[in-house]
């Protein structure tokens, strides 16, 4: 008696043109490279696409542990971020680069899924370069953030997790836009994103003035991140500060939060969260 | 390196210092505010507050250390909440897990030990205490205290006693070290590589402190300083450590 092996799963690839037709309009658009920037990604070959996507969203969702902030003032844009990545309560890294340098005059921050942020902001960099080559001039921050937001919208509901600020300088002046994976795109003067954003807002809102000097603005951004790393368990590591001017961005600070703590509270016993008698 | 220690106090024949059954003072004044915009689903009831406790044995001495953070999920409230409590001069218990259960259970233990002292006219032995804790936890088998203890003490003849339990009282004694908390893997890794037998009190303190501070650097829910007690035959030395505050 011959044992017959079932090789039906090797017969044809899971994803072919005929399979694509079954999936429906929306999925086809997502698969197609319809906009110049959007890539054509194959959809997972599962029977129940919706519940699979929901599970993916649940898997990525807890990863918003971070603090990033940005604000516009008289002398440009300040972007400040922490550098911690957590998986649940485990700290996976204290040295994550959360500011993505899209090009010498555009910056994007990272909050949410690291892979999503890195990939799509690099993709945005590609699109900006293609724009430059096609039009012979630099892209505006407004247009760049619109490109990113449109890309995010086309993948809406598929489990991407990204909350980013696109900041830069163009011929109209400084620009700061908040773009996230739900497709939201908001222009503003002050933003903070992540689990530590509420603590950062407290410091930022209290110390902000339009006509801050460059040094004071950098110090404000750094202090806001420091206070967020103190209170928020999912933020920490180093506080990096970037300053964007008409000539482009420049990284101006990268101090470890421990050094900042000893600088702001040289007598730790006097810190407000420390009772007078510890024992 | 950033780890440096401040010698807090030395207790000769440590008597008279009240035990730190401290209800965090700030909570009596101000209501707790939740960062409600960013709603964190609770991962586990044991990770609601966060803790890190290590106990180590040396040559006729034991040491127990804990972090100082008091927090609610991701928010840090205060940095003055040690988790190792004194039972008597030669016996300390560290309670990890849910903060409220740790406090309540500690209050039960203080009561039981006070009654024991009245009846027996002496302090309780570490071994006896360990078994008492184990059966107290198992009494609540179907509605447990969400706290896992680590007990460190010195027997009459000076031999160290270390034991750890889970939240329903499964007891395990050890000759080297015991850890509990929200990042046991990090702490185990550090202890496993740095512990050596027969360490003197000063060396034991150094080792435990390094293990604790490095271990909590990989834990988002514990840290913000540490406190270490080194128990020897004639005194208890307690030190507060400066660590990373993020």
Which of B76, B183, B218 lies nearest to residue A231, judging by beta carbons? B76
Give residue A174's pLDDT band: very low, low, confident or very high (50, 70, 90).
very high
Task: State whether A233 and B220 contact (CB < 8 Å).
Answer: yes
Distance CA A126, CA A148 (A): 11
Q: Which of A226-235, B20-29, B126-135 has the lowest mean pLDDT?
A: B20-29
Q: Does B41 touch chain A (CB under 8 A)?
A: yes
In a domain? residue B7: no
> How does DSSP classify residue A31?
H
Q: Does B45 touch chain A (CB under 8 A)?
A: no
Q: Which of A7-11, A69-73, B209-213 has the lowest mean pLDDT?
A: A7-11
Q: Does B230 touch chain A (CB under 8 A)?
A: no
Backbone angles phi, psi at B52, to 5 degrees: -145, 120
Task: Give the pLDDT of residue B217.
Answer: 95
Nearest to B155 by CA among B200, B189, B125: B125
Give residue A11's pLDDT band: very low, low, confident or very high (50, 70, 90).
low
In a domain? residue B189: yes
Number of separate domains in chain B? 1
Tell me which residue range forms the domain holding B71. 47-241
Q: Nearest-CA residue of chain A relative to B72?
A: A233
Task: State whether B246 and A229 contact (CB < 8 Å).
Answer: yes
Q: Does A57 touch chain B (CB under 8 A)?
A: no
Q: Does A234 touch chain B (CB under 8 A)?
A: yes
Which of A86, A258, A274 lies nearest to residue B80, judging by beta carbons? A274
What is the rounded average pLDDT of the residues B153-158? 95
**Degrees to nearest 5, angle at CA B226 with B162 and B84:** 40
Nearest-Å Rg of the Cα atoms of chain A is 22
Task: Give the pLDDT of residue B42.
Answer: 66
Q: Nearest-CA residue of chain B relative to A230?
A: B246
**Domain with B131 in it: what CATH number?**
3.60.20.10
Condensed to tens digits (0 to 9), the pLDDT of residues A175-191 reads 999 999 999 999 999 99
Task: Give the pLDDT of residue A12.
Answer: 55
Write down the CATH superfamily of domain A62-264.
Aminohydrolase, N-terminal nucleophile (Ntn) domain (3.60.20.10)
In a domain? residue B208: yes
Mode of pairing for the β-strands spanning A99-103 and B235-241: unpaired
Task: State whether B219 and A90 contact (CB < 8 Å).
Answer: yes
In a domain? residue B36: no
Q: Report yes or no: B94 and B42 within 8 Å, Cβ to Cβ.
A: no
* Chain B positions in Cβ-Cβ contact with residue A257 (cut-off 8 Å): 244-246
**Share in percent of chain B as helix, strand, coil (round to 5):** 30, 30, 40
Tell me the nearest-neighbour CA distance from B220 into chain A, angstroms. Answer: 5
Condensed to tens digits (0 to 9), the pLDDT of residues A189-219 reads 999 999 999 999 999 999 999 999 999 999 9
Condensed to tens digits (0 to 9), the pLDDT of residues A38-73 reads 567 777 788 887 787 777 766 665 556 889 999 999
| Among A66, A68, A164, A238, the one annotated catalytic | A66
Distance CA A50, CA B212 (A): 45
Confidence check: pLDDT of A13 > 90: no
Beta partners for A103? A106
B201 alpha-carbon distance from chain centroid = 18
Q: Does B206 touch chain A (CB under 8 A)?
A: no
Task: Give the pLDDT of residue A241.
Answer: 97
- What lies within 8 Å, CB to CB, of B61 at 6+ separation is B154, B160, B200, B201, B204, B230, B231, B232, B233
- What lies within 8 Å, CB to CB, of B164 at 6+ separation is B55, B148, B149, B150, B151, B171, B172, B174, B178, B179, B180
Query: Is there a catalytic annotation at residue A66?
Result: yes
Q: Does A231 touch chain B (CB under 8 A)?
A: yes
What is the rounded average pLDDT of the residues A154-161? 86
Condensed to tens digits (0 to 9), the pLDDT of residues A249-274 reads 999 999 999 999 999 998 877 788 88
Tell me the nearest-neighbour CA distance from A236 into chain B, angstroms. Answer: 5
> With pLDDT > 70 as the criterion, what percentage of chain A qualifies?
83
Distance CA B136, CA A122 (A): 58
Task: State whether A91 and B238 contact (CB < 8 Å).
Answer: no
In a domain? residue B13: no
What is the rounded average pLDDT of the residues B76-87? 94
* Chain A positions in Cβ-Cβ contact with residue B26 (cut-off 8 Å): 273
Task: Give the pLDDT of residue B32.
Answer: 27
Task: State whether A84 and B246 contact (CB < 8 Å).
Answer: yes
Beta partners for A177? A166, A187
Condensed to tens digits (0 to 9), the pLDDT of residues A111-121 reads 888 888 889 99
Q: Does A87 touch chain B (CB under 8 A)?
A: no
Task: State whether A84 and B220 contact (CB < 8 Å).
Answer: yes
What is the rounded average pLDDT of the residues B186-205? 96
In chain A, domain spans = 62-264
Q: Does B47 touch chain A (CB under 8 A)?
A: yes
Which of B25, B78, B246 lies nearest to residue A257, judging by beta carbons? B246
Measured N-to-C along each axis, helices B99-120 and B126-139 cross at an angle, to the nearest 10 degrees, of: 130
More confident residue, A273 or B60: B60
Which of B17, B43, B245 lies nearest to residue A89, judging by beta carbons? B43
Chain A / chain B CB contacts < 8 angstroms: 101
Confidence check: pLDDT of A99 > 80: yes
> How does DSSP classify residue B188?
H
């Amino acid at each position: 008696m011959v044992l017959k092996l079932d090789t039906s799963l090797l017969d044809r690839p899971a994803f072919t043109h005929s399979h694509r037709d079954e999936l429906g309009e929306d999925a086809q658009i997502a698969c197609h490279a319809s906009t110049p920037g959007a890539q054509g990604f194959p959809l997972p070959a599962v029977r129940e696409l919706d519940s699979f996507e929901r599970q993916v969203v649940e898997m990525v969702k807890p990863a918003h542990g971070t603090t990033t902030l940005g604000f516009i003032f008289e002398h440009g844009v300040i972007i400040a971020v922490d550098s911690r990545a957590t998986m649940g309560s485990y700290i996976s890294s204290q040295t994550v680069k959360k500011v993505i340098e899209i090009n010498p005059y555009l910056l994007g921050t990272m909050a949410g899924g690291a892979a999503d942020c890195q990939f799509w902001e690099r993709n945005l960099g590609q699109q900006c370069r293609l724009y430059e080559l096609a039009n012979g001039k630099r892209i505006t921050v407004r247009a760049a953030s619109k490109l990113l937001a449109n890309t995010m919208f086309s993948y809406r509901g598929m489990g991407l997790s990204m909350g980013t600020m696109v900041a830069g300088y163009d011929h109209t002046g400084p620009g700061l836009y908040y773009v996230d994976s739900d497709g939201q795109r908001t222009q503003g003067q002050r933003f903070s994103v992540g689990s530590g954003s509420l603590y950062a807002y407290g410091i930022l809102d209290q110390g902000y003035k339009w006509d801050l000097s460059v040094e004071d603005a950098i110090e404000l951004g750094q202090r806001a991140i420091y206070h967020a790393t103190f209170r928020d368990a999912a933020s920490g590591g180093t506080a990096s500060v970037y300053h964007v001017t008409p000539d482009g961005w420049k990284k101006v600070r990268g101090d470890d939060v421990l050094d900042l703590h000893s600088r702001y509270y040289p007598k730790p016993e006097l810190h407000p969260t420390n009772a007078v008698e510890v024992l | 390196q950033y780890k440096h220690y401040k010698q807090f106090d030395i207790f000769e024949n440590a008597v008279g210092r009240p035990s730190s059954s401290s209800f965090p003072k700030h909570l009596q004044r101000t209501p707790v505010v939740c960062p409600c915009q960013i709603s964190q689903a609770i991962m586990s009831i044991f990770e609601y507050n966060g803790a890190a406790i290590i106990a180590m044995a040396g040559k006729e001495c034991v040491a127990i250390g804990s972090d100082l953070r008091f927090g609610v999920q991701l928010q840090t409230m205060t940095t003055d909440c040690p988790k190792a409590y004194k039972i008597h001069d030669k016996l300390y218990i560290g309670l990890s897990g849910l903060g409220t259960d740790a406090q309540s259970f500690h209050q039960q233990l203080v009561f039981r030990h006070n009654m024991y002292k009245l009846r027996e006219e002496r302090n309780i032995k570490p071994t006896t205490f360990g078994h008492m804790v184990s059966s107290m936890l198992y009494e609540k088998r179907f509605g447990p205290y969400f706290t896992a203890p680590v007990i460190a003490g010195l027997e009459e003849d000076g031999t160290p006693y270390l034991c750890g339990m889970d939240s329903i009282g499964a007891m395990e004694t050890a000759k080297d070290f015991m850890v509990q908390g929200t990042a046991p893997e990090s702490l185990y890794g550090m202890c496993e590589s740095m512990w050596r037998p027969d360490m003197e009190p000063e060396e034991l303190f150094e080792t435990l402190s390094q293990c604790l501070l490095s271990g909590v650097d990989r834990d988002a829910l514990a840290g913000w300083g540490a406190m270490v007690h080194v128990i020897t035959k004639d005194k208890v030395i307690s030190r507060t450590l400066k660590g990373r505050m993020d």
